[in-house]
A and B are shown apart, each in its own frame.
Chain A
Amino acid sequence: MGVLLLVALNVPSSVSQHTKAVLREGIAPIQGLITSFSLSLEETIKSIRGLGDLSVQNQKLSAEVIRMRNEVWQLKALEKENVELRKQLDYQQKTTRELIPCEVIGRDISGWWQTIRLGKGSSQGVSVPRAVVTSDGVVGKTMDVSPRTCDILLLSDPSCRVATQVSRTKTFGIVRGQGVSWNREVVLRMEFINKDSPIRLGDEVVTSGLGGVFPRGLLLGYVDEVVLDRSGLYQSATLIPTADLGGVTYAFVVTEEEDPIESLLRRRRFNRIQSP
């Protein structure tokens, strides 16, 4: 066993990546199943909670209500999913970038990083490192890819850094995750902002395109607070992210910038479909 451990700790990265990919691929279907099961269980618990005293008043009536509420909740869940999918589809058709739509199948198992797992990988064109977005804004970047799954490092993780700029003033800065607060709110911090730049509350922050991972112009969040750094050399701002990082169910991996002509044709095609 000791020898096995030593081997496991010192395997070459290519072998390690391959082993990881095989194990991950094997467990991905179970992970996906349990995730969807837990979502429907959550909906059922919500519906049962909503009933309260009815069961005491009338057993028969409450059973009927439970059945109907369950139905309504299931419909609501379906409606919610429908709306979400429509929204994401609309975003995919409108955007000029090549996007790979993915479903979230799991979250980080170790607790050391804030990651999610998507149900698409290198065989569908996902590579590392690529930006991951939803219709609301940037979510994170791809970290680890196997043929049919990929791990995404979320913006909320302190090790995730994004080159950004304030839309109004064009001032550059680096956004870094600050984890999740006690009340489950994601906090982002934009650092190294020019101290003379007049940043206002509510200013829109987008990716600057520097660094090569995140294409230019992707919405990240809005300025919530601005402070001068202790050194007095630059400003820092707290941001409210536009994407709901805790509740992502669908996301898109940005593959590459599209050719301008292709983009124009795509927009035309989209407009033609939209017009009656």
Chain B
Amino acid sequence: MRNLVMFFLIIIGSVLQAIVPTWAFLSHGKIPFLLSIVLYYAFTADRSTTLRAAFTAGLLQDALGLIPLGYSSFCFCLVGWIVCRFKELIFGYQLITQIWFGALANTVTTSLLWGLLVLSNKMDPLFTWVLFKGVGAFMEGALTVPIVFKITRYVDTRVGNVEEATAS
């Protein structure tokens, strides 16, 4: 059941990520719905579930855009793995943790993706541009992850994947 819900959430997340408009003051970065879902699983599930979510979400992000296949999967898996590694040391259900991890994870993912795209000659190496993009990604991650976390948690609770007591 958990896998089914995860797949459904990733599909919805990818479609939302494609249609929600971008803003110039956030450097035209896309709202990171898919990364937020990956972070949710990183905070709440075991490593293998997280990596499964990260791989699927990345695959879909690459398939729906011009990024070469595998780049986003690599970045999402890396971020998911790092969060899984340190989740015992942090309070994953705290809003402030989600804000900070969302901001940092989106910045790291954006920078990593940029690096990979530059290395494969898909993008010009403009450092000022990626700096601007990074600031936008930081803010978008901080705003999106707590909201997506709440919604995803609600869906998971409603379908019985997690207990009511642990959900709060």
Identify the A interface with B (CB < 8 A).
1, 4-5, 8-11, 16, 19-20, 23-24, 27, 30-31, 34-35, 38, 106-115, 117, 143-144, 151, 153, 158-159, 179-182, 184
Contacts and interface: CB of A to CB of B under 8 A. Distances in A.
B70 A106 contact: no
Contact of B70 (A9, A151, A180, A184): A9
Contacts of B77: 1, 5
Interface stretch (B19-27, B37-45, B93-101, B155-163): B19-27
Q: What is the predominant secondary structure among interface residues of chain B facing chain A?
A: helix
Contacts of B72: 110
21 contacts: A1-B52, A5-B55, A8-B73, A9-B74, A16-B68, A24-B63, A27-B64, A31-B15, A34-B19, A35-B19, A108-B30, A109-B17, A109-B61, A112-B66, A112-B113, A115-B65, A151-B65, A158-B124, A159-B124, A180-B24, A181-B24
Given A20-B63, A109-B61, A110-B61, A8 B15 contact: no
B154 interface: no
Contacts of A23: 59-60, 63-64
Given A11-B70, A31-B18, A182-B25, A109 B55 contact: no
Given A1-B51, A5-B55, A180-B28, A27 B11 contact: yes
Contacts of A112: 65-67, 113-114, 117, 123
B61 A5 contact: no
Contacts of B59: 8, 23
* Ranked 6 nearest A-B pairs via Cβ: A8-B70, A23-B63, A111-B30, A110-B65, A9-B70, A16-B69
A34 B15 contact: yes
A16 B71 CA distance: 12
Nearest to B22: A111
Given A5-B55, A181-B24, A110 B70 contact: no
B51 A108 contact: no
A5 B24 CA distance: 33
Nearest to B27: A111
A151 B62 CA distance: 13
